[in-house]
């Protein structure tokens, strides 16, 4: 499975929790929520552009760090830290594919200061009375694709995102119950540490 596509493509939410009428959440409210999300972990289900499904656990440490641990038989690992993304294939001993984090729209929610009200960043902001959806892009590099974030209210919670890459392929990530406030060391997200652990070079 192409992990680069999985991270860069759109993620579609399959489940948004209990249906409940809700007002459209403002961009300011959503920005405040994301900026307050310093650490979090959750189980996830990923629906890839080719229809295949993967599951695993995600760890987030803002700003700039995320770890996707994929369950067997996949066993892949995706790390983002120090401005880079590395995709480790669990079924090979090859060096991981690496590229700048800024090339993926996921960078938009890992930034140190998130402002969804920034000019030309949000290109869609809708509500279906159960959730609020925001479609965002990097105003400076819109060619890298978009990320659609889905939130529920009372309390505000990120439930899913869909990343659409530069080729129009979408990957959906649906989050389970989120555990916040964990104390994660930087080594959990360290690409260099993972390379050393596996006896690999950065290529």
What pLDDT was estimated at residue 93? 81
Mean pLDDT of 167-193: 94
* Nearest in space to 125 (alpha carbons), one of 146, 104, 144, 142: 146
Q: Give the pLDDT score at 75.
A: 84
Question: pLDDT for 123-164, tens place per residue?
Answer: 999 999 899 999 999 888 888 899 999 999 999 999 999 999
User: What is the reported pLDDT for 10?
Assistant: 36
For the stretch 107-132, what's the b/e string if a residue is b when 16 or more beta carbons lie within 10 angstroms of its beta carbon? bbbbbeebebeeeebbeebeeeeebb
Domain positions in the chain: 3-198
Please tell me the CATH code under which domain 3-198 is placed.
2.50.20.10
pLDDT score, position 203: 53
Answer yes or no: is pLDDT of 166 > 90: no
The average pLDDT across 13-25 equals 56
| pLDDT at position 158 | 96
With vertex at residue 86, the alpha carbon angle to CA 200 and CA 61, rounded to the nearest 5 degrees, is: 120
- Average pLDDT along the chain: 87
The whole-number pLDDT of residue 46 equals 97
* pLDDT score at 141: 87
């Amino acid at each position: 499975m192409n992990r680069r596509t999985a991270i860069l493509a759109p993620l579609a939410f399959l489940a948004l929790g209990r249906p409940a009428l809700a007002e459209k959440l403002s961009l300011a409210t959503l920005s405040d929520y994301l900026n307050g999300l310093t650490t979090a972990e959750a189980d996830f289900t990923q629906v890839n552009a080719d229809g295949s499904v993967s599951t695993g656990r995600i760890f987030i440490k803002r700003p700039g760090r995320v770890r996707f641990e994929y369950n067997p038989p996949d066993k892949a690992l995706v790390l983002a830290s120090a401005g880079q993304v590395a995709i480790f294939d669990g079924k090979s001993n090859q060096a991981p594919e690496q590229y700048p984090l800024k090339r993926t729209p996921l960078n938009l929610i890992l930034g140190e200061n998130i402002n969804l009200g920034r000019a030309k960043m949000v290109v869609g902001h809708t509500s279906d009375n159960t959730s609020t959806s925001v479609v965002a892009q990097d105003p400076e590099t819109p060619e890298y694709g978009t990320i659609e974030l889905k939130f529920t209210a009372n309390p505000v919670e990120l439930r899913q995102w869909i990343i659409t890459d530069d080729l129009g392929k979408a990957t959906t990530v649906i989050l389970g119950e989120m555990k916040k406030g964990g104390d994660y060391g930087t080594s959990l997200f360290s690409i260099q540490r993972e390379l050393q652990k596996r006896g690999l070079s950065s290529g």
